[in-house]
């Protein structure tokens, strides 16, 4: 892998909200990256992204991009969960490194095949769990090492997302799967692997008059037993009115010697018997996540990537198990 040209040639597949909100801004700041092509089925989206990043070519789909662009080093794949089929497989076949927005697939079997294929081809395959790269995440790891944690509570509550695909379980997997997975992954990264989950869901608050195409859960509660013996409870809710009142999203970890309160992508509070300390997030975690991906491509060393595609699948697997428990009404072993 070492020996790349001065600038990596990068393509973007998917030019919707998440690319605009996260990846595009980081790529604009990187002088060693050349975005040479973008792809999106919506013409105005792909043209706007091409103009923003100075990409000379814009295509209607990933097939046209892969066929036309020779010498691509990497692609960033940011498409809805149900739209991945064939994209990662094509990248693997052509020897192109890739970073994938979560959730990476709605089919775990396919996900493991992609992970194996990328590994066999010697490619850098990353999952975009950027919260692992926050400076306060490093602080959390340090604090957790100093105490025994028994309970973890995490919450992601908001209004219904605007994208139509998000409101359908067949195309998004539901809120726990599509959004709260960031917290599910954070807890895995900090506290270790999950063992069993029992989850429940509620519906009926969102009416057909609100969204005719809405069929995901209004809210859910998932309780995981971890291999460490601790329990982690995740509360997801998407029925709040836009601009309405919400509790603070994030995570609380209750420890014997100290407890931690993490406010989602804002700050960390560490409370002990003698101190109450606040640490604010100062770094751009998306920039650092993308930079680690590109660094691994240049160096051939995956050590800089905190969330490989294969490791990210373990967080996805936990969310699949929670959805299964919601549907069956029984605990599910992970």
How many domains, the chain? 2
* Same domain as 277, residue 154: yes
* Same domain as 196, residue 122: no
- pLDDT at 267 (0 to 100): 98
* Same domain as 194, residue 290: no
* Same domain as 120, residue 217: no
Looking at the domain assignment, is residue 70 inside a domain? yes
Q: Give the residue numbers spanning the domain of 81.
A: 8-130+286-304
Residue-by-residue DSSP string for 265-299: TTEEEEEESS-EEEEE--S-HHHHHHHHHHHHHHH
Tokens of 165: 């695909």
- pLDDT at 247 (0 to 100): 74
- pLDDT at 1 (0 to 100): 47
Angle (nearest 5°) at CA 57 between 126 and 39: 45
- pLDDT at 293 (0 to 100): 98
* Same domain as 72, residue 216: no
* Same domain as 151, residue 126: no
Q: How far is CA 72 from CA 5, 6, 145, 261, in A?
A: 12, 14, 42, 42
* Same domain as 177, residue 325: yes
Looking at the domain assignment, is residue 2 inside a domain? no
Looking at the domain assignment, is residue 3 inside a domain? no
Give the pLDDT means over successive 10-residue stretches in the chain (334 positions). Answer: 74 96 96 97 98 98 97 97 96 98 97 98 97 98 95 95 92 96 98 98 91 93 97 96 76 96 98 96 98 95 94 98 98 98
Looking at the domain assignment, is residue 171 inside a domain? yes
Q: How far is CA 24 from CA 14, 108, 296, in A?
A: 11, 28, 20
Q: How far is CA 227 from CA 94, 150, 310, in A?
A: 39, 12, 19
Looking at the domain assignment, is residue 203 inside a domain? yes
* Same domain as 241, residue 172: yes
* Same domain as 292, residue 279: no
- Helix, strand or coil, per DSSP, at residue 213: coil
Looking at the domain assignment, is residue 44 inside a domain? yes
- pLDDT at 277 (0 to 100): 97
* Same domain as 322, residue 247: yes
Looking at the domain assignment, is residue 293 inside a domain? yes
CATH of the domain at 63: 3.40.50.720
- pLDDT at 187 (0 to 100): 98
* Same domain as 277, residue 162: yes
Residue 23's nearest CA partner among 320, 332, 290 is 290
Give pairs for 303-307: CB < 8 Å, separation 24+. 305/124, 305/126, 306/129, 306/132, 306/133, 306/189, 307/126, 307/127, 307/128, 307/129, 307/132, 307/185, 307/189
CATH of the domain at 192: 3.30.360.10
* Same domain as 296, residue 198: no
DSSP state of 316: H
């Amino acid at each position: 892998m070492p020996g790349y040209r001065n600038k990596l040639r990068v393509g973007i597949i998917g030019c919707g909200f998440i690319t605009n909100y996260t990846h595009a801004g980081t790529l604009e700041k990187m002088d060693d990256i050349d975005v040479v092509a973008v792809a999106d089925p919506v013409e105005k989206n792909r043209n706007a992204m091409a103009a923003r990043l100075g990409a000379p070519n814009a295509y209607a789909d990933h097939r046209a991009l892969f066929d036309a662009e020779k010498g691509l080093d990497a692609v960033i794949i940011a498409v809805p969960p149900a739209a991945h089929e064939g994209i990662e497989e094509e990248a693997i076949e052509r020897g192109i490194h890739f970073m994938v927005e979560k959730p990476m697939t709605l089919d775990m079997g396919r996900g493991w095949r992609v992970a194996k294929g990328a590994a066999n081809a010697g490619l850098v395959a990353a999952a975009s769990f950027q919260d692992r790269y926050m400076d306060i995440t490093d602080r959390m790891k340090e604090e957790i090492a100093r105490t025994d944690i028994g309970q973890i509570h995490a919450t992601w509550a908001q209004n219904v997302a605007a994208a139509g695909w998000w409101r359908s379980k067949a195309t998004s997997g539901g809120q726990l799967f599509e959004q709260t997975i960031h917290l599910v992954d954070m807890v895995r990264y900090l506290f270790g692997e999950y063992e069993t989950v029992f989850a429940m869901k509620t519906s009926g608050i969102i009416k057909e008059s609100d969204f005719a195409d809405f069929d995901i859960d209004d809210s859910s509660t998932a309780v995981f037993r971890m291999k460490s013996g601790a329990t982690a409870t995740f509360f997801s809710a998407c029925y709040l009115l836009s601009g309405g009142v919400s509790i603070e999203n994030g995570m609380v970890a209750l420890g014997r010697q100290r407890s931690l309160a993490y406010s989602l992508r804002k700050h960390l509070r560490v409370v002990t018997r003698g101190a109450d300390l606040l640490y604010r997030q100062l770094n751009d975690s998306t920039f650092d996540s993308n930079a680690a991906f590109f660094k691994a491509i240049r160096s051939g060393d995956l050590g800089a990537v905190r969330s490989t595609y294969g490791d990210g699948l373990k967080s996805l697997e936990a969310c699949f198990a929670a959805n299964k428990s919601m549907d069956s009404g029984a605990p599910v072993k992970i």
